[in-house]
């Protein structure tokens, strides 16, 4: 009986793999016949691994349209060449990869937790990489929301969402930003240049921005910083209860006044917050609370200490008061 146990376990695992629906969206397959038994076994092992790991993942609410919108540009820049899009098929090079990357425009409604596992960790021994910033689960969930939405997009709708992988597609023609995406036109050129360099060297965590910045030269960064940056910021609005935290802080909770460092006359390498997109502000404050200095950036250690005692209601109030009207 003991000799049979490995065979029984192997047969059970094999049955589990065969019983699972093929994860044809973002999952290696052997459609060309290459790989034979080895290819089949690799695909089975991957399906089992992804399925088991996804059992402990609790998806957030993916219905916010801003989530998919934030990921669309990254998909066009990094993913569309291999997986295709509603606006164009995959490039020829994708056919030479093994396993061949699956087309993701065919309505593969895979469970969100499985998609999350593949997007975050990639697929070993394949061309599918993991997410460039492993601490940014929020960005991975944005991509999951987009992948589930994309099969229903027309070419025109896709182009409106994804653009053509330019800065202005996400940040606006003048850097005015949009829901969940930061404004650039309220920042100094010095701050923008420092942020881009931090993304480029990986010291600031964002899979989307690392993919953009790693191809920029110092000259590119300086040009973009001066193109979008501004010399003057936005004056504070009248102080209400929410503005008390921003202007005076909360001494009892060791929370300093935000505008003491981030006002219109702040140091030129510090970000200005007045008039920033509320969704972006809320997200960044949450990252500093949860990731602390691991959020990254030139002054992450200072900001992590300032934000560590913020509660969700503080964050909501600050984002609403500091954010644009």
Tens-place pLDDT, residues 115-130: 999 999 999 888 899 9
Looking at the chain, the domain(s) classified CATH 1.10.760.10 span 167-228, 241-322
pLDDT of residue 318: 95
What would the mean pLDDT of 131-143 be, rounded to a whole number?
96
pLDDT at 293 over 70: yes
- CATH architecture group of domain 167-228: Orthogonal Bundle (1.10)
Give pLDDT, residue 19.
40
Q: Which residues pair with 250 in a beta bridge?
A: 255
CATH number assigned to the domain covering 241-322 = 1.10.760.10
b/e burial code for range 111-144 (CB count within 10 A of at least 16 → b): bbbbbbbbbbbebeebbbeebbbebbebbbbbbb
Name the β-bridge partners of 296. 204
Give the number of C-alpha atoms closer than 13 A to the C-alpha of residue 194, restricted to the C-beta side. Answer: 15
Residue 241 pLDDT: 78
- Measured CA to CA, the distance from residue 82 to residue 88 in angstroms comes to 11
Task: Summarize the confidence of residues 141-163 as an average pLDDT.
Answer: 96
Contact (Cβ atoms closer than 8 angstroms) between residue 209 and residue 295: no
Angle of CA points 157, 160, 166, to nearest 5°? 145
């Amino acid at each position: 009986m003991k000799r049979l146990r490995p065979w029984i376990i192997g047969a059970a695992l094999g049955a589990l793999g065969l019983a699972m629906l093929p994860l044809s969206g973002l999952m290696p397959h052997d459609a060309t016949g290459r790989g034979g038994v080895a290819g089949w076994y690799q695909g089975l092992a991957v399906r089992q691994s992804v399925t088991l790991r996804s059992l402990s993942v609790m998806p957030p609410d993916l219905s916010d349209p801003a989530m998919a919108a934030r990921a669309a540009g990254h998909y066009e820049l990094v993913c569309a060449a291999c997986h295709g899009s509603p606006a164009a098929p995959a490039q020829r090079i994708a056919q030479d990869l093994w396993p061949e990357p699956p087309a993701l425009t065919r309505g593969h409604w895979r469970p969100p937790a499985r998609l999350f596992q593949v997007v975050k960790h990639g697929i070993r021994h394949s061309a599918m990489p993991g997410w460039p910033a492993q601490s940014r689960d929020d960005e991975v969930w944005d991509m999951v929301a987009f992948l589930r939405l994309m099969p229903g997009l027309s070419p025109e709708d896709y182009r409106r969402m994804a653009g053509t992988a330019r800065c202005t597609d996400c940040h606006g023609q003048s850097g005015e930003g949009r829901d969940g995406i930061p404004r650039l036109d309220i920042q100094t050129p010095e701050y923008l240049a420092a942020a881009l360099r931090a993304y480029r060297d990986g010291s600031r965590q964002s899979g989307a921005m690392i993919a953009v910045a790693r191809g920029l030269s110092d000259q590119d960064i300086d040009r973009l910083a001066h193109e979008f940056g501004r010399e003057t910021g936005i004056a504070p609005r009248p102080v209400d209860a929410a503005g008390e935290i921003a202007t005076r802080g909360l001494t009892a909770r060791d929370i300093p006044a935000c505008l003491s460092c981030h006002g219109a006359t702040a140091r030129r390498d510090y970000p200005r917050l007045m008039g920033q997109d509320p969704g972006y502000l809320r997200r960044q404050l949450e990252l500093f609370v949860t990731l602390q200095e691991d959020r990254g950036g030139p002054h992450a250690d200072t900001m992590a200490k300032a934000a560590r005692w913020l509660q969700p209601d503080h964050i909501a109030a600050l984002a609403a008061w500091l954010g644009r009207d």
